Amino acid sequence: MSAAESHILPVYSPPQQNFERGEGCWIWDDKGERYLDCIAGIAVNALGHAPPVLVKALTDQANKLWHTSNMFKVKGQEELAAKYTRDSFADVVFFTNSGTEAIEGALKTARKYHTANGHPERIDIIGFQGSFHGRSYAAVNASGNPSYLEGFGPRLPGFIQAPYGDLDEVKKLVGPTTAAVIIEPVQGEGGVREVPHEFLRGLRKLADETGFLIIFDEVQSGAGRTGKMWAHEWSGVTPDIMAVAKGVGGGFPMGAFLATKEAAKGMVVGVHGTTFGGNPLAMAVGNACYDELSKPALLEHVNLMANHLGQALEGLKDRHPDLVVDVRGKGLLRGVKLTINPKDIQGKLRDRKVLVGVAGDNVLRLAPPLIIDETQIREAVDAIDAVLTAYATQSNG
């Protein structure tokens, strides 16, 4: 069916392939063609396609109970929240359907904290240029990207933008109405950039001195993606609130926001809710996924593969200095900044049966399943190498 004949709202422009099944790092279309998946549904399929452990968890739960809403207790929520808080800075968890819903809850928690402390005037949220926090109204205002805001009416009040990684500029913006700073430890959509650890430490110090809260958006960088469960662990800095999603469900739509007990003090009965968030199906998969992600052997594998991928991509930069400007990111969330349109390279890689993503700032994005092996990494990078070589040859011919 052509795009003109489709009844789907045309806010995406997908290619022609219709994918029917997946296994591990591979995915097959309806013509039986096999592709190497190096984007994993944008960092979602952390354990690959159809991992047996998640299939079993989902199937077992599907045969018992699908949904009750949060008007009743959901056993799986208590179990997964206990695991998240046991292994992190947080004391409490709220489960959501998606990353953007997790961001909404995190922002509301920050403002409610100040109201609970008798300072309802503290509403300002400082975000960073190049960030991406989702597509809801509050999320696009927190991101501040003009292309996501245009045409949707006036900007919501209380959202401010700062240059990414510039502590002096943040200090100039902080005042008596500042509620929180929201930041991705590794930007995904904005160009796969890792924020310097020193900046996060400075941000934490500034927050403690002036009383605003820190929200980490780990929707894309979390769930083992960088070689630790959460990317901020590399810096030694902890937030007050954190939003997570994508990989935590291993392909099933779920998210959560986590907070310290102090930061969540304003979130009392009746001030927030969700109908589907934390339903029994999501919790069954989420528990099984977290059990796998938190195994030391998996994170060791991610770090080993990340080293291979990083070295291989640096090799690309050496071989194609006119086309590759920079190699970025952390762990198995990597970006290759190009001098040419990455969408063109993405399409040519798809022709070679390798799936990758793109990001802002002219970046080709790679976020493969965390189970990817060295042979598959070599195959992916060889394909990028071949496409760049062909592009250079054609351009020079």
Confidence (pLDDT) at 211:
98
User: Rounded mean pLDDT of 74-78?
Assistant: 97
Q: Residue 395 — very low, low, confident or very high, per pLDDT cuts 50/70/90?
A: confident
pTM value is: 0.96
Model pLDDT for residues 178-236, shown as the tens digit of each residue: 999 999 999 998 899 999 999 999 999 999 999 999 999 999 999 999 999 999 999 99
Percent share of the chain, pLDDT over 70: 99
Model pLDDT for residues 119-141, shown as the tens digit of each residue: 999 999 999 999 999 999 999 99
Q: Residue 267 — very low, low, confident or very high, per pLDDT cuts 50/70/90?
A: very high
Would you say residue 1 has pLDDT above 80?
A: no
Other beta carbons within 10 angstroms of residue 301's beta carbon come to: 18
User: Rounded mean pLDDT of 4-15?
Assistant: 91
Please give the helix or strand (H or E) that residue 105 lies within, else none: helix 99-116
Confidence (pLDDT) at 286:
98
Side-chain half-sphere of 134: how many Cα atoms within 13 Å?
25
The answer to whether the beta carbons of residues 220 and 42 sit under 8 Å apart is yes
The answer to whether the beta carbons of residues 195 and 178 sit under 8 Å apart is no
Q: Residue 313 — very low, low, confident or very high, per pLDDT cuts 50/70/90?
A: very high
> 142 by DSSP, 3-state: which?
helix
